[in-house]
Amino acid sequence: MKGTNLGEFEELVLLTIAALVNDAYSVAICDELEKNTGRAAKLGVVHAVLNRLEEKGLVKSKLGEATNTRGGKRKRYYAVTSAGKAALLKAKEVRDNLWSMIPGMALKNI
Amino acid sequence: MINQKNKPPRLAEKFLSWYCKPELLEDLQGDLYEYFQRNVKTRGVVRAKLIYIIDVIKFMRLYTLRKPEFVNTLMNWIMLSSYVKTSARSIRRSPLFSSINIIGLAISMTVGLVMIAVLTDISSFDTFHTNRKEIYRVISRYDYQGNQDNNYMATTSLRAAKLIEESVAATNGIAILRRDFEGDFTAGTKTIPLQGYQTNPGLFQLFSFRLLKGNPVTALKEPFSLVFTESAATKLFGDDEPVGKVVKFRNRDYTVTGILEDVPHFSHMRFEVLGSLSTRETNKEQLKEDSKWDNIWNAWVYLRLPPGTDLQTITTTFDRISAKEDSTVKETHIELDLQPLGEIMAGTDDLGNQIGPVIGNLTLWIFGGLTFVVLLSAGFNYTNLSIARSLRRTREVGIRKVIGAMKSHVMSQFIVEAVLIALIAVGFAIVLFLLVKPLFIGIEPEIQQIFKLELTPVLLLYFIGFALLIGLSAGFFPALFFSSINAIEVLKRWYPVKGLGKLTLRKALIVFQYTISIIFITCTVIGYKQYKNYVGFDLGFKTENVLNISLQGNKAELLKKGLSELPEVTGISQSAMVTSIGNFWGTPVKHISNLQDSSWMAYNYIDEHYLDLHHHKLLAGRNFNPLPDSATESEVLVNEQILKKYNIPNPIQALDETLVVNGKELRIVGVLENFVYGRSNDANQKKEILFRYSKTNVHILNVRIESTDLIGTVAKIEQLWKELDPVHPFEAKFYNEQIEEAFSGLRASVNVAAVLAVLAIGIASLGLLGMVVFTTETRLKEISIRKVLGAKEVLLLFLMSKNFILMLAIAAAIALPLTYLLFEQVAFPQMANHAPLGIIDMLVGVSCIILIALILIATQSWKVARANPSQVLKSE
């Protein structure tokens, strides 16, 4: 099913939301992604992903206080839901499993 | 703070909020704004703006797009009943304003309804003809010695009809109606006067007049056959079968060959009897007359051209016919043209020789324009009062918006309110319309002939549609205004924002209304003065107490004998026509010394008593001597103007000169002072006029009456008439009445202007009343404080009314010069012998209006100025 699988970028966004804890809104997420991945995160792309994640029920959002920096518009804060947490854990588990299957010497010689 | 320059491009922002889902919008706007500010710092304003625009476009994705608002529209419908309810409440809550709006709209809508009914009636003319779109009338223009007539004649010559029938191959039939088939028709012992035409069988082929009995192809084919309408036949024959009977008309026997259904009311031609045109061919004299190319005054000719016919080719054929036929007449050119059937009733109204009454499109445009102005004025009242009352309603709108009403909801609410008021108003207007209808139809006899103004279901539907339209347009501006209110601002402040006032607009509307009112009333006053001037114009002879009786074929001597026995009758004369009421009889006249120079002069036949009875002044010579009926005509009376024409220095020398009048040599026996022959408003008053003597051509009896009871005397004369002639109704009118009738058009215009003036003033006054009530009420507190501080009541009165008085002054300052220019530049150049424009005439109307307005303002202001300040301040 669509909802169970996470894309690579989706996973990154989801992780960033979790990492930012109480300050996870679109612009902050973009900035954090850029900082950690070193690649440019376009606002439009991030928005679309956030929208998709919310549709899948992996994140939830609420509107915060209006601030002057946003021209009087409110921020939309995102938080990971339990389904999101489960998806993240599952993805981590898959990776951990795969990592553990690689013999110690196998990657050293590449 | 962020200055104006550092704001994102507005257009892009608007675009975003247009396409974006409302639930995502705020978030997106915020994000873009944050980025924008960042970009301004790092890359400069211009690039930041560019990026913003690009981002807005990039955000257009499936998930951000707004869905079409079916739900919203549905919601609006559901809300409709709620709107109606709240509107009804708001109407009830402020009865004064609602009634001002409703009365104003109802009055102006009545005018609108009359206009709609008039247009409906006009558009239903001639619609019963199945071929109506393909029928054209041949019209002609007369050109003598290069002097082209300004106007076409609706008539043409029978010769032209014949040639067109032969040459225009595309013709699907031609209908010819010749006038002068009217008078007394006798069947057995019964005689009734009927009106009709001589026509060809083509009439039934072209038009959809239904023949109830008889064969449409043959009924009017043979000479001396005729067809009656159903009601005429019933009058003449009662229940007997009319077809096949013989009827006497002008001493000839005609056979009835058919019965027509009565001509519908909405037909531009009306008749009770039709005779066969071929009858004319049996009479040599008539045949000769009919073959003349320049005899264009007596026949109406209609063609049917199949759809798709190139009218150009038809007119080219006409031009060819003209070119050929012009050679048969001297120095005359006759131009033919086509006029579609649909344009006869409401086309150009300057066509001469119409077959029946028509209403010109100029009249319609003027009437329509005035109606529009009156409606506009009432619409302004609504807009003005609604916005003025915004003070009370803004908070209502604010709360609605806070609860969740969108702009469109507020708009619908106010539009529904306006439509509701318009619908209530149209209810009153329909009642008023029914009351006004008989008055309107009675303005002029011609109007009575044309219009019915029947309230049919279709018309009712038009009326309701009209009310909806008025409601929508009157409510649009207030709706726009209220829906753009900012809820938070309105609710936070105790008093609404000053921008709400739109004071200049409201003032402009009031000034406009008063300008219109002043123009209307001034025009009415001036128009009435002109009418009085023309009716009482010094014609050069006396018309008071002269009763003109049409003899209608009776022997003058018999009636004269009866009349002379009445003590009230002080004089009797006879004439062929009545002058000074717009009729012209012309005849060619030459001076004996120069037979080449022929000119048309106006004339009248009179008897030897005519001059004395009418107090005509003789400058030289004598009156006619009484002569026996059989005597040959040998004498003529001329007016002064003729002396100028033939260069005769003084009246005495004119005597015994000989004129050749229509081929007869007549000796001048007397010279009369100039007098008005046509109408007192004719531009060319200096006319050469002849009086000729006749005992046989004089069919009008001029009776001078000296009596304190004129009506009683006329009744006595009518009694005499009835004994003498039981068939024809008594036709007599006082000379002065006839002159008034000659100016009935002007009188009708003045009446219409007067009605409109009253309406415009009424509506403007209602609007002013509303505004005054409103302003005084809102200033109640201010006035009270002023009073407590020691202001005098008179000064307060001045304080409150000065603004309104200023507005009235501005209105007068605009309206008076406009009216002055209208008359001096447009109307007067076309009106000969008009009365001069007096200052008093200009000011009468204005002072009336200002007086009414002042009373309105003063009573309201006085009420407020007199209010007890302690009470006002305590209760507020």
Residue of higher predicted confidence among B863 and B636: B636
Q: What is the pLDDT of residues B408-424, one digit of tens each?
A: 888 888 999 999 999 99
Residue B53 contacts A, CB cutoff 8 Å: no
Given a contact cutoff of 8 angstroms between Cβ atoms, the answer to whether B185 and B192 are in contact is yes
Q: Kind and range of the H or E element at B106?
A: helix B95-123
B2 contacts in chain A (CB < 8 Å): 71
The type of residue at B65 is: L
Domain ranges, ordered by start, for chain B? 4-58, 135-343, 361-532+745-875, 546-737
**Closest residue of chain B to A28, computed from CA coordinates:** B31
pLDDT of residue A1: 41
* Radius of gyration, alpha carbons of chain B: 37
Residue A65 contacts B, CB cutoff 8 Å: no
Residue A48 contacts B, CB cutoff 8 Å: yes
B30 contacts in chain A (CB < 8 Å): 70-71, 73-76
Residue of higher predicted confidence among B110 and B663: B110
Q: Residue B876 above 70 pLDDT?
A: no
Residue A19 contacts B, CB cutoff 8 Å: no
Q: What is the pLDDT of residues A23-82, one digit of tens each?
A: 888 888 998 898 888 888 888 888 889 988 988 889 998 888 777 777 778 888 999 999
B10 contacts in chain A (CB < 8 Å): none
pLDDT of residue B277: 92
Q: How confident is the model at residue B702 (pLDDT cuts 50, 70, 90)?
A: very high
Q: Residue B380 above 90 pLDDT?
A: no
Mean pLDDT along residues B717-742: 89
pLDDT of residue B502: 53
Q: How confident is the model at residue B499 (pLDDT cuts 50, 70, 90)?
A: very low
Q: What is the pLDDT of residues A64-73, one digit of tens each?
A: 877 777 777 8
Distance CA A66, CA A73 (A): 5
Domain ranges, ordered by start, for chain A? 2-101
Residue A70 contacts B, CB cutoff 8 Å: yes
Given a contact cutoff of 8 angstroms between Cβ atoms, the answer to whether A71 and B52 are in contact is no
Per DSSP, the residues of B349-416 read TT-BS-SS----HHHHHHHHHHHHHHHHHHHHHHHHHHHHTHHHHHHHHHHHHHHT--HHHHHHHHHH
DSSP bridge partners of B601: B587
Cβ atoms within 10 Å, residue B558: 14
B31 contacts in chain A (CB < 8 Å): 26-27, 43, 47, 70
Distances (CA, A) of B370 to B112, B359, B365, B754, B800: 10, 17, 9, 12, 33
Domain A2-101 part of CATH 2.60.40.10: no
Distance CA B519, CA B173 (A): 52
Identify the three-state secondary structure at position B184.
Answer: strand
Distance CA B823, CA B736 (A): 27
Beta strand B225-229 with B211-213: parallel, antiparallel or unpaired? unpaired
Nearest to B680 by CA among B586, B747, B580, B750: B580
In this complex, do A26 and B37 lie within 8 Å of one another by their Cβ atoms? no
**Closest residue of chain A to B28, computed from CA coordinates:** A47
Residue B29 contacts A, CB cutoff 8 Å: yes
Q: What is the pLDDT of residues B760-813, one digit of tens each?
A: 898 889 888 888 888 887 788 888 888 889 888 888 888 888 888 899 999 999
Contacts of B8 (CB under 8 A, 6+ apart): B32, B33, B36, B49, B52
Identify the three-state secondary structure at position B709.
Answer: coil
* Interface predicted TM-score (ipTM): 0.86
Nearest to B34 by CA among A51, A29, A45: A29
Residue B27 contacts A, CB cutoff 8 Å: yes
In this complex, do B30 and A48 lie within 8 Å of one another by their Cβ atoms? no
Q: Vertex B408, ends B404 and B414: CA angle to 5°?
A: 100
Q: How confident is the model at residue B2 (pLDDT cuts 50, 70, 90)?
A: very low
In this complex, do A27 and B63 lie within 8 Å of one another by their Cβ atoms? no
Residue B35 contacts A, CB cutoff 8 Å: yes
Residue B284 contacts A, CB cutoff 8 Å: no
Q: Return the HEC string of B819-850.
A: HHHHHHHHHHHHCCCCCCCCHHHHHHHHHHHH
Among the partner-chain residues B26, B55, B61, the one whose CB lies closest to the CB of A43 is B55
Q: What is the pLDDT of residues B276-314, one digit of tens each?
A: 999 998 988 888 888 888 888 889 999 988 888 888 888
Cβ atoms within 10 Å, residue B501: 14
Q: How confident is the model at residue B351 (pLDDT cuts 50, 70, 90)?
A: confident
Distance CA B564, CA B542 (A): 21
